[in-house]
Amino acid sequence: MNEYTHNPFASSHSLDTNPFDDPATPTQVHSQSTDAVRLEELRRREQDLERREQELNAKANNIRLHGKNNWPPFFPLIFHSIKDEIPEASQSLVTRLYQLWLVLLVTLIINMVACIFILLAGAEEAGRDLGASIGYLFMISVLSFLLWYRPIYNGYMKEQSLYYYLYFFFCGFHLLFSVYMIIGVPSTGAAGLIRTIQMFSKHYWAAAVLGLVATIGWTIQGLGNAFYYRQIWAHHTAAGHTMEKAKTELASHGAKAYFTRG
C-alpha cells in the first residue's frame, strides 16, 4: 500500500478533537475551586451556628437550674443578666439600651417633680400636668420595659424575628412619645420646652430648672434610642429576620416564649 494513502479514521479523529471538552481546562478548575470555597464557607457557618446554639442552650440550662429572679432588685420578678444571657458581641449594645431605659425612668421621676413645682407656681392647667405626669411615671416605665426593652433583650438572646418586630413597633411609638414630651405642651403632663420657657419667663426658678433637666433627659434617651434603633435595624436585616419567620415563631411558640428563657 502507498505510504501516502489517506486514512479516514485518523483524520476524522484529529479534526473532531475539541480542547474545550477537556475536563481539566483552567475555566473548569477555577469553577471547581470556587465551589469548594463556597461549600467550605457554608460548612463553617453551620458549625458556628451549631456551636452558638449549644452555648446558648448550656447557658439557658444553667440559668434554669441555678438562676434566681433578680429584677427588679426591690421585688424580684424576672431573671435579668446581660452577661449571662446575651452573646458577648451584643452585650455592649444591650447594656446601653438598659442604661437608656434607666435614664427614661429617672426622667419620668424628674418630670413629675417638675410638674409639682409648676403647680405650686400657679400655672394654668398645672393640675392636669401633675395628674398626667404621675400616670406617665407608672405606665411608661412599665410599658417601655415590657414592650421595647424586654423584646430586644430577648431578640439578642434568642435571635428570633418576632422579638425584633415587637421592638421596632413599640420603640417607634416611644420615639414619637419622646418628641411629644420634649415639646412640653401645657396640660399634657410634660415639663418640656414650652413649660420650661414659661417658668423661666415668670422667674419660677425651681420649676424652670427641673423642667430643663427633664427636657434634657427626654432628649438624651430619645436621641440614644434613635441611634441604636438604626443599628438594630441593620443587624436585623443582616441576620435575615423576616416577617414570615416572625409569624412562624408566633404560631410555634405563642406568647409563652416571651416569658421563658433559652
Q: How far apart are CA 119 and CA 135, in angstroms?
A: 16
**Res 50: pLDDT:** 77
Cis-peptide into 26, omega within 30 deg: no
**150, 171 Cβ separation under 8 angstroms:** no
Mean pLDDT over 80-94 rounds to 95
- pLDDT of residue 232 exceeding 70, the answer is yes
- pLDDT attached to residue 174: 98
The amino acid that residue 71 corresponds to is W
Contact 124, 152 (CB under 8 A): no
What is residue 12's predicted lDDT score, i.e. its pLDDT? Answer: 46
Average pLDDT, the chain: 86
What predicted TM-score, i.e. pTM, was given to this entire model? 0.75
pLDDT attached to residue 37: 82
- Is 96:228 a contact under the CB 8 Å cutoff? yes
pLDDT at 205 > cutoff 70: yes
Question: At residue 22, does pLDDT exceed 90?
Answer: no
Is the Cβ–Cβ distance between 214 and 195 less than 8 Å? no
Given this model, what pLDDT does residue 13 score?
47
d(CA 162, CA 226): 20
pLDDT reading at 45 higher than 80: no
What is the model's pLDDT at position 259?
66
Cβ atoms within 10 A of the Cβ of 78, count?
A: 12
Cell digits for 257?
Answer: 416564649
